Amino acid sequence: MELGNNQQQQQQQHIHVLVVDDSVIDRKLLERLLRDSSCKAATFLDSGDKALKYLGLLDDELDNASSTSSESLQQNGMKVNMIMTDYCMPGMSGYDLLKRIKGSSWKDVPVVIMSSENEPSRISMCLEGGAEEFLLKPLQASDLKKLQPCFLKCFDNSGEEDTSRNPAKEKQQNQNVNEELWKT
């Protein structure tokens, strides 16, 4: 799929969400919900370990001081504007993932935790650990609306600072490239 220069710029300005959830059904549901939100590009992974690998945070890769470190990933333009993770997963939990991210160069990326258990102690633990928001499963469209302030923050904090940005024009351009992006 070829992208013109214009479309490439727009792609860089899109919010890219990393979703981490071991449930194939929940990933599919979230994919459909995200489609209706401001977040038009998403990557879906089924474990915390895969998320760490994706973000260049696996310990053995750091030792190499190679181009797979998270700093160089970000320098090379790989963008993750938000991370949404399930709390309860086999292996690494969403809370563990949250702590790893907050202790890394990705620490400014908002992390949203999702869980089927409505446990106040779990919720406060996650929020105190730096989570932006805690969503109860099963997710509905109204939950994604709760993330709207978060999405807007992402636009402001986007890596590509372009002082000549025109939000209204971007919105139209974003809508035009939605289909292309979603197919990738």
Question: Should residue 24 be labelled a site residue for other proteins when binding is judged by CB under 8 A?
Answer: yes
- The interface mask with other proteins, positions 85-114, x = CB under 8 A, is ---x-x------------------------
Residue 125 touches other proteins, criterion: CB under 8 A: no
Q: Which of 103, 138, 149, 159 binds other proteins (CB under 8 A)?
A: 138
Q: If we measure between CA atoms, which residue out of 116, 97, 124, 92 comes closest to residue 29?
A: 116
Q: By C-beta, is 18 or 33 nearer to other proteins?
A: 33
Query: Cis before residue 138, ω within 30 degrees of 0?
Result: yes
Strands (E) across 26-93 are located at 41-45, 82-86
> How many residues in total does the chain contain?
184
Is 152 a binder of other proteins (CB under 8 A)? no
Which C-beta is closer to other proteins: that of 35 or that of 171? 35
Task: Identify which of residues 139 and 150 has a Cβ nearer to other proteins in the complex.
Answer: 139
| 23, 52, 92, 113, 129 from 99: Cα distances, Å | 22, 11, 11, 12, 7
- Spatial CA neighbour of 79 closest among 39, 120, 28, 36: 39
Binding span for other proteins by CB under 8 A among 7-15, 25-33, 126-134, 165-173? 25-33
- Residues touching other proteins, count (CB under 8 A): 17
User: Which residue of 103, 107, 141, 149 would you call a contact of other proteins, by CB under 8 A?
Assistant: 141
Give backbone dihedrals phi and psi of 64, rounded to 5 degrees, phi first. -70, -15
Q: Identify the residue among 19, 26, 40, 100 touching other proteins (CB under 8 A).
A: 26
Q: Can you say whether residue 31 is alpha, beta or left, with left for phi > 0 and alpha for psi between -120 and 50 degrees?
A: alpha
What distance in Å separates the CA atoms of residue 157 and residue 184, rounded to the nearest whole number? 24
The position carrying tokens 């709760």 is 146
Q: Which is nearer to other proteins, 35 or 146 (CB)?
A: 35
Binding site for other proteins (CB under 8 A): 23-26, 28-29, 32-33, 35, 88, 90, 116, 137-141
